[in-house]
Structure 1
């Protein structure tokens, strides 16, 4: 359990999003840069990343957040800020820019243990 000044909570979200056109651009140094940026965002926003998997054509993020943040806000933060930071720091041309699809998946981990969700995310790594 985590606490804020006015709440005790255990809210864990599984958020998945994809690069535009599901292109396999998240490999090598691009994947490492995106992963670092996602960790920066979490630190800046006071969120805890429980697990993060950057696959060539999508990202799985398992994150814990206080109740004041809606899952849609979390998805928008991670997608929007990561794209802007990556493109500003590393993209020297439009072809190198990271662009995300408009949609995303968000699920909660409710009473399911974090180990179960982490196991699911890690099993997804083995799939093509």
Structure 2
């Protein structure tokens, strides 16, 4: 996990893009333990690396998780989310955590919905003001 101000460089671009993701368990079941959250953190970091993204922060409670991911512009957030949820569900079920089998119906770990919010950088009001102050040529 790196410094928040690490501007990344691509071949033809310079970027610093972060997304805040929230995933909720199916039916809001309270299934996560400290051990499962540790496993999820490692799985999410691995999936992010496959997308050339970086898991900057991760934490959760017994029925949901929060991630902050630094990702390149070539990655669609929906594709990243799909992979994060699919791979983590499959890998966690493979580990056979007893608490999961009892509380999850038909093995589905995640609710099909998710929250994604852009984060980092200047507040929208400052960006709006900056754009308005540009010297438009006559």
Please give the TM-score of this superposition, normalised by the length of structure 1.
0.77
Q: How does 1:16-31 map to 2 (within 5 A)?
A: 16-31=22-37
* Equivalent position to 1:109, from 119, 125, 128: 119
CA distance in 2 between counterparts of 1:81 and 1:6 reads 30
DSSP 3-state at the match of 2:95: helix
Give the aligned partner of residue 130 of structure 2: none
> Tell me, which stretches of 5 or more residues in structure 2 are unaligned?
1-6, 124-138
Aligned length: 113
CA deviations on 1:55-82 (whole Å, 9 max, x unpaired) are 2111100000000111111211111111
Superposition RMSD on alpha carbons, in Å?
A: 2.2
CA deviations on 1:24-60 (whole Å, 9 max, x unpaired) are 1111322221222112212232211111112211110
Whether the aligned pair in 2 keeps the contact of 1:86 and 1:98 (CA below 8 Å) is no
DSSP 3-state at the match of 2:117: strand
Please say which structure displays the higher CA radius of gyration: 2
Once the 2 structures are TM-superposed, how far is the Cα of residue 91 of structure 1 from its aligned partner? 4.8
CA distance in 1 between counterparts of 2:18 and 2:46 reads 18
Q: Confirm whether residue 72 of structure 1 aligns to residue 82 of structure 2.
A: no
CA distance in 1 between counterparts of 2:93 and 2:10 reads 34
Q: Confirm whether residue 46 of structure 1 aligns to residue 52 of structure 2.
A: yes
Whether the aligned pair in 2 keeps the contact of 1:10 and 1:64 (CA below 8 Å) is yes
Give the aligned partner of residue 4 of structure 1: 10
CA distance in 1 between counterparts of 2:56 and 2:111 reads 23
